Structure 1
Amino acid sequence: MTTHAPVLPLWLCEGCDRPWPCATRRADLLAERERVPLAYYLSLCLIAAVQDMGWAPVDVLRRRFIGWLP
């Protein structure tokens, strides 16, 4: 199991202290899940992050959570 889990409410990576999902977690997620369930999971994370980080621009969070999906 990865140590690159999100630390809430700032959604930072537990393993590398970068914005979650970090590059390592993105690679893990792509390897672990099929595209549609992954998009659904990250959309739920996006919704939670928007609630946790109301000060962050929504478009920035959208790119961070789902904008990198192939």
Structure 2
Amino acid sequence: MTAHGPVVPIWTCAGCGAPWPCRTRRQELRAEYDRAPVSLALYMGACFLAASRDMGWAPAGLLHRRFLGWLT
């Protein structure tokens, strides 16, 4: 279990206070989903949708880059 989970509805990192997913959590997620990149994309897509609902004031492009833009 990671200390770098999301604090909702503001979607900050419980471990370091950075916008979630923080750098540490991204590294952890890459390792956890190493052999399942589609599953990681689906998980992050679900997080993106939840964050979009919670943070309706945030620009969609910013949230998209934050939650999905780092997936390659």
Q: How does the TM-score come out when normalised to structure 2?
A: 0.96
Q: How far apart are the structure 1 equivalents of 2:70 and 2:46?
A: 15
Q: How far apart are the structure 1 equivalents of 2:46 and 2:70?
A: 15
Q: How far apart are the structure 1 equivalents of 2:2 and 2:70?
A: 20
> Unaligned regions of 5+ residues in structure 1, if any?
none
> Unaligned regions of 5+ residues in structure 2, if any?
none
Q: CA RMSD in A?
A: 0.4
Q: How far apart are the structure 2 equivalents of 1:49 and 1:25?
A: 16
- The one-character-per-residue Cα deviations of 1:17-41 (angstroms, maximum 9, x if unpaired) are 0000000000000000121000000
1:48 corresponding residue in structure 2: 50
- The one-character-per-residue Cα deviations of 1:4-62 (angstroms, maximum 9, x if unpaired) are 00000000000000000000000000000121000000000000000000000000000
- 2:64 equivalent among 57, 62, 69: 62
Q: Which runs of 4+ in 1 moved over 2 A?
A: none
What code does the residue aligned with 1:50 have?
S
Aligned residues: 70
Q: How far apart are the structure 2 equivalents of 1:6 and 1:69?
A: 18
Q: How does the TM-score come out when normalised to structure 1?
A: 0.98
